[in-house]
Amino acid sequence: MTIAPILPASPGKLPLSDYKPLGNAELSERIEAGRKKLGKRLLILGHHYQQDEVIEHADLRGDSLQLSQLAASSSECRTIVFCGVHFMAETADILANRPEKLAERNGRRVDVILPDMAAGCSMADMAAIRQVEDAWDQLGEVIDTERLIPVTYINSAASLKAFCGRHGGIVCTSSNAAAVLRWAFERGERVFFFPDQHLGRNTALKMDITNEQMPVWDPYAEDMGGNSAQAIQASKVVLWKGHCSVHQMFRPEHVAQFRQKIPGIKILVHPECPQEVNDIADYSGSTSSILKTVEQSPAGTKWAIGTELHLVNRIKKENPEQEVHFLSPVVCMCATMYRIDLAHLAWVIENLLEGVVVNEIMVDEETAKQSLIALERMLEVK
Ligand code: 13P
Ligand code: SF4
């Protein structure tokens, strides 16, 4: 696994060390005071996996697709503070500062801030651009890459989105993966899907593509990602060997244990979970469809949910008429999302009040231009 370098945090006018010793009550108060002073100039976006203390200060919360759409439509704010992970802030920068938005604002950029630069994503780190380019070249030795459509999960670096933009490809999220795959098959014969093998596999299986037609590309294998030329030639989807360290922890035995303990319980999982869990679950869906499924079910429904811990705990709290359980007996939480805490949030907001933008995420112009092509294709897919 390649680990992306942790970007240096900006020092800021007010140092982070001043905020670390403060208690949550004081930090919350200061964040709210800052939000009030900055008014519409500041937009705080929060991914559903954030801890409650942080999500309480978000203007808008959502899953990856909703947050991209919100960033794409932002017009009044001057700064977006993204309580999520690095690839989300990059996406927000690309969409909020695309040429048509800049023209609307007479060239003024929206600054996008990631409160903690160490909030990365281990899945995104599993595919580096040079590995994807190398794989593409090797694939080109045995199949026609003109008919191969690259699809990157939004959980990836901007350089991979740019690769998709350059090669007739597209971005997907867990909410639109099936529609994106249909889009891709209307334009090509095969799909190269990275970095999450589970989302790719679980989505394609529902489209009657078989596991035999989905070789897994291991970027560390000597040759052809560990596959024969025949396997690649017979493929419909080439899956990158990457996964989410959080969702990978849900196991079929957890499903069996709940079914034995609580008869009638419904199992609801995210498509980043492995196939053996998705296959036996009652429902599989993106973050927003998990939320909707629980909210719309009759009172008294019993659920065991396989997705990030903070989200499941919040679903439990906000749906007291349902019986909600966490599917795994061990803690499955996104440790990098959890890095965003009140101290970092107060620190970036109070620096903004001083006129200082700390931890700005800015994608270089060429990468942003090419990524935008793949992101706009995704936003148009219905
Ligand atoms: P969604 O927000 O698309 O459900 O993705 C889950 C996730 O892993 C975010 O990093
Ligand atoms: Fe990445 Fe998984 Fe965390 Fe999502 S939950 S940000 S995919 S590590």
37-to-34, 42, 302, 354 alpha-carbon distances in Å: 5, 9, 44, 12
What is the CATH class of 123-245?
Answer: alpha beta
User: Is the pLDDT score of 73 beyond 60?
Assistant: yes
Q: How many CB atoms lie within 10 A of CB 287?
A: 23
Per cent of the chain over pLDDT 90 is 92
Place of tokens 């595919």: 127
308 Cα nearest atom in ligand 2: 5
The reply to whether 247-326 shares the fold of 123-245 is yes
User: Is the pLDDT score of 154 beyond 60?
Assistant: yes
Average pLDDT over residues 189-199: 98
d(CA 344, CA 113): 11
CA of 258 to the centre of ligand 1 (A): 24
**Is ligand 2 within 6 A of the CB of residue 273?**
no
Q: What is the dihedral of CA 151, 154, 159, 164, to 10 degrees?
A: 20
d(CA 137, CA 124): 21
Domain ranges (residues) in the chain: 16-120+336-363, 123-245, 247-326
Q: How confident is the model at residue 7 (pLDDT cuts 50, 70, 90)?
A: low
47 Cα nearest atom in ligand 1: 2
User: Is the pLDDT score of 1 beyond 90?
Assistant: no
Q: What per-residue confidence (pLDDT) applies to 6?
A: 57
Domain boundaries 16-120+336-363, corresponding CATH code: 3.40.50.10800
d(CA 48, CA 294): 15
d(CA 9, CA 5): 12
Whole-number average pLDDT of the chain: 95
Q: Count of H helices and E strands in the chain?
A: 16, 13
**Is ligand 2 within 6 A of the CB of residue 122?**
yes
Structure tokens at 195: 């970095």
Q: What per-residue confidence (pLDDT) applies to 9?
A: 74
User: Is the pLDDT score of 331 beyond 70?
Assistant: yes
User: Is the pLDDT score of 359 beyond 70?
Assistant: yes
d(CA 373, CA 190): 20
Tens-digit pLDDT profile for residues 33-56? 999 999 999 999 999 999 999 999
CA of 120 to the centre of ligand 2 (A): 8
Atom 3, ligand 2: residue with shortest CA distance: 334
**Is ligand 1 within 6 A of the CB of residue 286?**
yes
The pTM of the full predicted model, rounded to 2 decimals, is: 0.95
Q: How confident is the model at residue 64 (pLDDT cuts 50, 70, 90)?
A: confident
Which CATH architecture fits 247-326?
A: 3-Layer(aba) Sandwich (3.40)
d(CA 313, CA 334): 13
**Is ligand 1 within 6 A of the CB of residue 63?**
yes
**Is ligand 2 within 6 A of the CB of residue 245?**
yes
**Is ligand 1 within 6 A of the CB of residue 51?**
no
50 and 84 in contact (C-beta within 8 Å)?
A: yes
Q: How confident is the model at residue 13 (pLDDT cuts 50, 70, 90)?
A: confident
d(CA 286, CA 292): 10
Average pLDDT over residues 304-329: 97
Q: What per-residue confidence (pLDDT) applies to 271?
A: 98
334 Cα nearest atom in ligand 2: 3
Q: How confident is the model at residue 314 (pLDDT cuts 50, 70, 90)?
A: very high
87 Cα nearest atom in ligand 1: 10
d(CA 60, CA 13): 27
Tens-digit pLDDT profile for residues 199-248? 999 999 999 999 999 999 999 999 999 999 999 999 999 999 999 999 99
49 Cα nearest atom in ligand 1: 9
For 238, list phi and psi in degrees, rounded to 5. -95, 120
Residue type, 365: E
CA of 244 to the centre of ligand 1 (A): 10
245 and 197 in contact (C-beta within 8 Å)?
A: no
Tens-digit pLDDT profile for residues 74-122? 778 999 999 999 999 999 999 999 999 999 999 999 999 999 999 999 9
CA of 334 to the centre of ligand 2 (A): 6
